[in-house]
Amino acid sequence: MRFRIALLGAALLFWSSAALAATGVAFVHGTGKQTDALNDYWTTDMVDSVRQGLANSANYTVINCDFEQYMWDSRAAGCLADQLTTFINARGITDLVVLTHSNGGNVMRWILSNPTWDSRYPTIIQRTRWVNALAASSTGTPLAEAVMQGNVFEAALGWLLGYQNNAVRMQQPSWMAFYNSAWLLGTPGRPSLPKGFWNVVGTDVRSAFWDGAAYCGGYFNQVGLEITQNWLDSCSDGFLDCSSQNGAGSLWFYDHQVSSDRLSHAQSRRDCHGLDVILRNDL
């Protein structure tokens, strides 16, 4: 985290000489086919809180794409590239901060890793300051394997992960290991990503009914994640092991280091435990 603070200081020195730079923020959802991610995924409370950190709070966009597809699919990375390009051009964005959650980090990392794949990618990469990856599924999750095998998890996790779609198939650890070794940058032993990919890692799930921290983001989500956590490492957010969340790029912080409580997978896309203020101040 000290390195990131030093990097931010250097960046501020640069940006102070470029007063006309237009900073914008993009909210990139995780697995799922979204048509109203503002209300159904992030909530207006989260988005409105974070964007107050912008000099112009209107310089934001909430992405709505079909992330039930493989990350490189035109309905996934192609859709993301189209919406980011439209946002950059419409608002004159020269300094873009991207907030991703879960599988959204994989789709964004595909763009950063493959600049020659699509003519829109280079401009997006050039305009991006960095990516703040909230609970990124960079090395996948064992729960994806359980869903693809069609056992009890398929029904139990439909609300969280989706059913047997290509995005779930892709997030099986063995599949992600291949993509990370051949197509994606930023994991150990691979070249670095062209822009910073900073990980926010959720480490536990609070679900006790007497614990006030269990109610942010929906109490029943917490109960479900508490159950699925039994199939994961002791350090996990109920959907992803901490090692997956910090599997690519660089660690920004573990939840308990900065936020007021532990962040489950559902809470890391909501204004829970001060996360929105941390992200707001980062802008």
What distance, in Å, lies between the first and last C-alpha atoms of the chain? 16
Confidence of residue 193 (pLDDT cuts 50, 70, 90): very high
Instruction: Compute the distance between CA of residue 82 and CA of residue 27 in angstroms, rounded to an integer.
Output: 14
The predicted pLDDT at position 223 comes to: 86
Confidence of residue 162 (pLDDT cuts 50, 70, 90): low
Q: Closest by alpha carbon to 110, among 144, 84, 141, 143?
A: 84
pLDDT in tens, 204-231: 999 888 888 889 988 888 888 888 888 8
Instruction: Compute the distance between CA of residue 183 and CA of residue 191 in angstroms, rounded to an integer.
Output: 11
Taking the CA atoms of residue 102, residue 108, residue 113 and residue 117 in that order, the dihedral angle to the nearest 10 degrees is 130
Confidence of residue 172 (pLDDT cuts 50, 70, 90): very high
Phi, psi of 128 (to 5 degrees): -80, 125
Task: Tokens for 110, please give them.
Answer: 């595909």
Kindly give the interhelix angle for 104-113 and 79-91, rounded to the nearest 10 degrees: 80
The predicted pLDDT at position 210 comes to: 85
Q: Decide: 198 and 250 in contact? Cβ < 8 Å.
A: yes
> What's 2-8+22-282's CATH class?
alpha beta
Answer yes or no: is pLDDT of 7 > 80: no
Q: Give me the half-sphere count of Cα atoms (radius 13 Å) on the Cβ side of residue 112.
A: 26
Phi, psi of 251 (to 5 degrees): -70, 130
Q: Closest by alpha carbon to 252, among 178, 174, 181, 200?
A: 200
The predicted pLDDT at position 80 comes to: 98
pLDDT exceeding 90 applies to what percent of the chain?
Answer: 74
Answer yes or no: is pLDDT of 159 > 60: no
Identify the sign of the CA torsion 166, 167, 170, 173. Answer: negative
The predicted pLDDT at position 227 comes to: 83
The residue that leads in pLDDT, 10 or 210, is 210
The predicted pLDDT at position 208 comes to: 85
Let me know the angle formed at the C-alpha of 167 by 133 and 218, rounded to the nearest 5 degrees. 60
Kindly give the interhelix angle for 44-51 and 275-282, rounded to the nearest 10 degrees: 30
